[in-house]
Amino acid sequence: MKTIVIGAGAIGLSSAYYLRKAGHEVTVIDAGQPGAKASGHNAGWVVPSMSTPVPAPGMMPQALRWMLRKDSPLYVSPSISPKYLGFMLQMLRNCTTARFEAGLEVLSHLSRETLQLFDDMAADGVSFEAHNDPLTMLYTSASNLDKHAAELETMEGHIEDFKWRLLEGSDLAREVPGTVPQLAGGLQTYGDRSLDPASLTQGLTAACRRDGVEFRLGRRARLRSATHGSVTVEVGQEALSADKVVVAAGAWTNEILAGIGSSIALASGKGYGYDLPLQPDGPQHPMYLAEAKVAITPLNSKVRIAGTMGFGKGTNERISRVRAEGLLKSLPAYFTQWPSLPTPAEPWTGLRPMTPDGLPIIGPLPKHHDVLIATGHAMLGVSLAPPTGRLIAELAVGEASSRHLSSLAADRFKL
Ligand SMILES: Cc1cc2nc3c(=O)[nH]c(=O)nc-3n(C[C@H](O)[C@H](O)[C@H](O)COP(=O)(O)OP(=O)(O)OC[C@H]3O[C@@H](n4cnc5c(N)ncnc54)[C@H](O)[C@@H]3O)c2cc1C
């Protein structure tokens, strides 16, 4: 079977990897280079313990309250686009405890085998930089700490081999030297991982090439037609046909679907980050600054700082320095001192593909069953790349068995 995958981010590459293993003749098309968008620009956490949907009780009021603060970690870009307003309204409807818990169930089920799948990929020669250090979360507010501790308790019931502990007083000072004395405390999780996301997309690209996947890079694709058993993709002046097409173009997915008059419920969630040089007194293991929503990931050659969630209607990649600098400005609320930088760091940005209920879309387009969608992974696209790719390969051969297929279906939203 001939299959085209549009998008060489973590999701498209993982889909190509598993489709090829399932015997498909696979071509990957990307407008740029593999991992050049969000998949290479993120915190690199593989976190089954954070399998929670973005829409959560209290999330929207917080985002709206912070709308006017130019350096806030969470905000909603104003727009009068009816589609975008409809999206935000649907998201608001998902900010209930019941919807949050239902979403947690689906995401934790999807992520339950991801660590094993990453190990299997590594054993198969997919080369990437990975770390197993525990993840430490720091809180300035005791109520936030209690709330998250309760969430982790729930997670323990969903995720095998997952452990966590409370960090207070001397434990906290020992685990994370240099924290401010006013901190409410910390939580440490065992069973999550971190990796260099760019190394993952490079490793997957190399493994796909090794296995015979063809790449067409620097070529913008758009669907031209989809009839039963044949889908045609426009790539510049060329038209390529295949039995199936997987659209895994992240926040750009609707631009590709527009070619056949289709669309899915998708918005973008803009994030920012910095890559800082390694320093001897810098952080030694991954940390999350809860109120600031900042992730810190020490890697072999740099320390990555990432965060911010800005809901927007399009795919605007403009960098707001004020917003990005909000990440760095949040550090003194947690640390007495932060290693000084020889030169000011340059921020980068990444667009997360967002859905109104915080669950990815993995499945066929309602009216075009040979067009499979794999997007909407929000803050979990790296974590969920292997199980998503495997599920796409199962769907392509008609053997998908996940009990959550309807929760992931493209037609679950009213557009
Ligand atoms: C600041 C930040 C921190 C994050 N931290 C984490 C984390 O710690 N853990 C985690 O799991 N997730 C994290 N995420 C989320 C994660 O990065 C995303 O969910 C994930 O990268 C989405 O992957 P993707 O393959 O769907 O999309 P993308 O990486 O955006 O890839 C889409 C690809 O499609 C291509 N494309 C677009 N249009 C076209 C076209 N017309 N033709 C051909 N190709 C096209 C693009 O060039 C791109 O390569 C974070 C995100 C951000 C922004």
Query: What pLDDT is stored for residue 342 in this prediction?
Result: 66
Q: Which two tokens stand for residue 206?
A: 């190399």
Rounded CA separation 389/18 (Å): 6
Contact at 8 Å (CB) between 377 and 296? no
Q: How far apart are CA 46 and CA 385, in angstroms?
A: 10
pLDDT over threshold 90, residue 405: yes
Average pLDDT over residues 329-351: 87
Q: Is 350 in the pocket of ligand 1 (CB under 6 A)?
A: yes
Average pLDDT, whole number, for the chain? 93
pLDDT in tens, 118-138: 999 999 999 999 999 999 999
Please answer whether residues 44 and 230 qualify as being in contact, where contact means their C-beta atoms are separated by less than 8 angstroms: no
pTM: predicted TM-score of the whole model, two decimal places: 0.96
Q: Which residues, in sequence order, are CB contacts of 306 under 8 Å at separation 6+? A: 41, 42, 43, 271, 272, 273, 274, 294, 295, 297, 327
Determine the residue type at 317: E
Ligand 1 contact via 385 beta carbon (within 6 Å): no
Residue closest by Cα to atom 44 of ligand 1: 30
User: What percent of the chain has pLDDT above 70?
Assistant: 99
- Facing residues of 310 across strands? 75, 270
Chain centroid offset of residue 300 CA: 21
> Using an 8 Å Cβ cutoff, are 203 and 213 in contact?
no
pLDDT tens digits, 292-337: 999 999 999 999 999 999 988 889 999 999 999 999 999 999 999 8
* Pocket of ligand 1 contains residue 256 by CB under 6 Å: yes
**Of the candidates 288, 368, 373, the residue with the CA atom closest to the CA atom of residue 11:** 373
Centroid of ligand 1 to alpha carbon of 317 (angstroms): 12
Contact yes or no for 276/342 (Cβ under 8 A): no
Which tens digits make up the pLDDT trace of 228-238? 889 999 998 99
> Domains in the chain, start-ordered, CATH in brackets?
2-412 (3.50.50.60)
pLDDT tens, position by position, 180-229: 999 999 999 999 999 999 999 999 999 999 999 999 999 999 999 999 88
Residue with tokens 């790296």: 382
- Compute the distance between CA of residue 253 and CA of residue 373 in angstroms, rounded to an integer: 8
Higher pLDDT, 59 or 38: 38
Rounded CA-CA distance 162/278 in Å is 29
Cα distance between residue 343 and residue 346, in whole Å: 9
> What average pLDDT does range 146-163 have in this prediction?
89
Residue 38 and residue 295: Cα distance in Å, rounded? 15
Does any ligand 1 atom lie closer than 6 A to the CB of residue 16?
Answer: no
Ligand 1 binding pocket includes 44 (Cβ within 6 Å): yes
Q: Which residues pair with 179 in a beta bridge?
A: 335
**110, 51 Cβ separation under 8 angstroms:** yes
Q: Which of 13, 17, 30, 275 to mutate to test the pocket of ligand 1 (most atoms within 8 A of CB)?
A: 30
Residue 73 Cβ inside 6 Å of ligand 1? The answer reads no
> CB–CB of 327/307 below 8 Å?
yes
